[in-house]
Amino acid sequence: MFYKNLLIFTTILLTGCGFTPMNQINNGQNIISETEKITIANIPNYDGYLLKKELQNLLNPNKSNAPKEYVLTVLLKSPVYEDQTIQGDNFSSRENTTVSASFQLKNTQTQKIVLTDSTIATGAYNIVQDPYATQTARNKLKTNLLKIIANNISVRIISFLKSQEEKNESKTVSN
């Protein structure tokens, strides 16, 4: 009974606060249709390939061939590895990994850069006696960090596109 009342109370609060889903534009159109208009420039190296594929899955999940209005350019920096824990025998038992990227979204019609931002993801893994296990852990962590970077970029782009649509809606209403 308590949880039912809590659910009803939360629903009432969310509807009263002006909350709108991030994946929906004011006119009821899905934000995915807007992100399908983004083409992603090639990102060098294998890590760039993985990042581009993840971004394509997040921004254009339906694999639409919609006309492209934006170009997303991502500069992926090389991962930084640093020892976190050093044992008495000078053997590192844990390593931090940091992956960072900066990106620009450019409107192809006006040739103006409409969004510039950067993101960073950090994680750690254990270094064990078996080199294969350590390398596997390093690769898995780097793949997960690239997914975080892609998610951060897509959320910022969706947020930007939603804010632009809301500005356009408010201009239309005020005119």
Residues 147-163: tens digit of each pLDDT = 999 999 999 998 888 88
In CATH terms, the fold of domain 2-174 is: Double Stranded RNA Binding Domain (3.30.160)
The model's pTM is 0.77
Strand positions, DSSP E, the chain: 38-40, 70-76, 80-86, 92-107, 113-126
Residues 13-57: tens digit of each pLDDT = 666 555 555 555 445 455 557 788 889 999 999 999 999 999 999
The pair of three-digit structure tokens given for residue 84, joined into one six-digit string: 């976190």
Q: What are the percentages of helix, strand and coil residues in the chain, rounded to 5?
A: 45, 30, 25
